Structure 1
Amino acid sequence: MSRLVIHVLDSDHGRRAGIARQVFALGHHAEVYADPAELAGHAPKDGVVLALEDAAPGGVAGLADLLQRRGHWLAIIATSAAPTIDKAVDAIRQGALDYLALPLATSDLARALTLAEAHVRRDREETTRRVRARSLIESLSRREREVLGLLAEGRSNKEIGRLLGISPRTVEIHRMHALARVGARRSAEGVRLWWEAGEGARKAA
């Protein structure tokens, strides 16, 4: 397992210091915070947040929203000094990657961090693909982007031509140029890149 940065959020000084020691003992690096404002002010760009379930107003969802408003998307593992099944289910529904009882059992923490490492790796790979796809899409001309976007909506060359006021043959030329520029051998590959770049979501918004 690779070394992770674990952002420990807990209002109890002794408890967060103990958790930090456990994190270091498992081969990871720990940063500690007394409250959500301190964590948000630090604005971590990577790692995993290990936080009390009610550390922020709104629980896990509130904490995630606070971080996302700062432009950061981090996995969150929730902790609780008084865990219940209902609270665990609620935390997971709000987006927590895992839910651990306090005081932390080292075996439970190790398992949760293994899960987190896999999550972080997948997120890093997805981010790499998204950045690459966005760069390729942005290399297209305005007309090529329009054609590829309409193609991603399932439009035919004839429909695209009618919408853009150009002939189906001109649409085909723009489509071929767009696919060649992004390195796609087939239309399906170009459409996949379009969605990986988030263009569909941005257009819907």
Structure 2
Amino acid sequence: QDEVIGTIDLRTRRVEPAGRSFHRVWEKPRLSRSERKKAHKGGSETPESSAESTSEEPSSRSGWSAKRKAKKPVGEQLKLNKVLEGLNLYDILKVSPTATQDQIKKSYRRLVLEHHPDKKKGSAEEEEEKLIFLRIQEAFEVLSDERRRKQYDSSLPFDETIPTELEEGEDFYEVFGPVFDSNARWSNRRPVPRLGDDSTDLNKV
């Protein structure tokens, strides 16, 4: 009768050929061995210089990681051009805060044609038109980007109070309509449905 005195683990490890972890565990050692063989044959690199290059690699990698993190800071605040200071971007583009991207683009194109500096070239209004045109461009850059638009919306004054009851004689739609509209800016659905009134078609409710 045969006696089993040991076992062999035949399990294989699946490795995806991608990512920094794969390069660090599998590719980097292989490249290092290959480079050492070439250096040994050609005599162009000494073990000391090889060790120095290896020791320098972590610092370069950490520097790369630092640069990469610097490009994507956490909690980055929206910075607006100075020409927009004190102005409402929605007012500049003449759209409502609940406007869709399509509505913003249409208004932007219309305003660009209307206020293009070339139309006032050589006139006393040329510099003023240039400023208006620049504001239109800057406002569109923000509102046409959903992420930046949400950042901008978050920076605007906002009344979070919601009426809990109606006073005698008050109309429900007149009281809650503005509240509904102001909160619509946070909706991911565009256009945002309106609250309507007592004459709104039931099919639209």
Query: TM-score scaled to structure 1, two decimals?
Result: 0.27
Select the structure that is richer in strand: 1
Q: Max radius of gyration: which structure?
A: 2
